[in-house]
Amino acid sequence: MKSSRRNFLKNTGLAIGGSLILPACYYEPAPFRFFSQEEAECLIAICECIIPADDAPGATDAGVIYYIDKQIMGHFKKYQQIYREGIDALQKDCKINMGFNFESLTSDQQVKFLEMMEENNEKLKNWVSIRPATFFNMVINHTMQGFYGAPRHGGNKNYMSYRMLGIGYPQIVGQNRYGKGDSNG
């Protein structure tokens, strides 16, 4: 079969175009803005203890770590040092009391350790400027915000918590998204 210049250019264009599109189809999360990989792994494990995946998605599925990481570079900037010190103290105490990093523990061991934090247990010796319970409660609050908040803030990926709760995307004040005949419109 004789190949024309036009067919050659068409086929070459398809091959080049395909090679550009395929990598875009492969999704790999962006690197973290604030947290190191090790800090992120620890925080992911904490968040997953707070909102574990079961028959519904958990904190990891909803991208809560990305919410916290994004917000800590902006709105939560005042918590940067607390996160650094808190994760460091948590890991040190976890190694002393449990023998491993937090993310390496079984889920039952993780829950037991978080209960120790919640109680400000005297075995937790590496906390200098913040109490373990204060850090843990802050992470709970940020995890809930990342799971249940608007996806535009970095968490609640694909509206997971809204779908889990059976609610639609909340209406935005100032935008006419109400149907005709709606008393709110």
* Phi-psi group of 153: left, alpha or beta (phi > 0 → left; psi -120 to 50 → alpha; rest → beta): alpha
pLDDT band per the 50, 70, 90 thresholds, residue 61: confident
Question: pTM of the predicted model, to two decimals?
Answer: 0.72
Residue 18, in any domain of the structure: no
**What's the pLDDT tens digit per position in 20-46?**
444 444 445 558 889 999 999 999 999
Residue 10, in any domain of the structure: no
Domain count, the chain: 1
pLDDT at 170: 65
Residue 5, in any domain of the structure: no
Residue 17, in any domain of the structure: no
Residue 16, in any domain of the structure: no
pLDDT at 145: 87
Residue 81, in any domain of the structure: yes
Give the range of the structural domain holding residue 104, as residue numbers without chain letter: 39-47+58-165
pLDDT at 181: 44
**Two structure tokens written together for 155:** 């968490």
**What's the pLDDT tens digit per position in 80-126?**
999 999 999 999 999 999 999 999 999 999 999 999 999 999 999 99
pLDDT band per the 50, 70, 90 thresholds, residue 174: low
Residue 11, in any domain of the structure: no
pLDDT band per the 50, 70, 90 thresholds, residue 1: low
Per-position DSSP letters for 74-124, written without gaps between them? TTTGGGHHHHHHHHHHHHHHHHHHHSS-GGGS-HHHHHHHHHHHHTT-TT-
The answer to whether residue 178 scores a pLDDT higher than 60 is no
Residue 22, in any domain of the structure: no
